[in-house]
Amino acid sequence: MSALWLFLAVLGAPILHAPVLRWDLLPALKRPLDGGRMLGGRRVLGDNKTWRGALCMTAGVVLATVVLWRWGWWRDQLPAAVRASSPVVVGLLIGLGTVGGELPNSFLKRRLDIAPGTRRRSIGGVALALLDQGDLVLGIWVCLLPVWVMPVWLAAIAFVAIAAVHAALNVVGYAIGARAAPV
């Protein structure tokens, strides 16, 4: 269970990305990952998945991992296989998983004609909203495979924990005016 501390590095993503969004920094990278491509008459990912976001979020996770790695207690919580790797490699894998984990959900929402940042008020909409809160866990699970095979039970616990924390942060973000919707 202590391996869940690995996910603390994910906080580097919003810490770096939030000011970039707030002050519209790096505008040249504010281009959609899908390049505006369509599939079946719908965008592949949409305008909210940009190169700027992917690069900033990944860089934020790498930086957070490097900083956290210097904290012996945190590093000691990690699985031995992760500790045996380098902080830059681990941070890069977690960062790529954080970003990559969001893409299948965005793709699915575009197929269902759900606009970016909106939700459907249905059972399926609730399921997608839940997936949206914890999808990064699935991405991280896959990306960490070259370094460590996370047990399925731990990935499930991480998914629930991350989804709950993510949902709570979204509500706080809404309360302070940083988000248009609470979830």
Work out the percent of the chain whose per-residue pLDDT is above 90: 73
User: To the nearest whole percent, how much of the chain has pLDDT over 70?
Assistant: 98
Q: How far is CA 183 from CA 14, 37, 129, in A?
A: 16, 28, 8
Instruction: Give 102-107 contacts, CB < 8 A, sequence gap 24+.
Output: 102/49, 102/132, 102/135, 102/136, 102/139, 103/33, 103/45, 103/49, 103/139, 104/135, 104/138, 105/131, 105/132, 105/135, 106/45, 106/46, 106/48, 106/49, 107/44, 107/45
Above 70 in pLDDT, residue 22? yes
Q: What are the phi and psi torsion angles at 50 (to 5°)?
A: -115, 165
Q: What whole-number distance in Å separates Cα of residue 158 and Cα of residue 134?
A: 8
Q: pLDDT class for 183, splitting at 50, 70, 90?
A: low
Cβ atoms of 46 and 34 within 8 Å: the answer is yes
pTM of the model: 0.92
Answer whether residue 133 shows pLDDT above 90. no
Q: Where are the domains of the chain?
A: 2-175
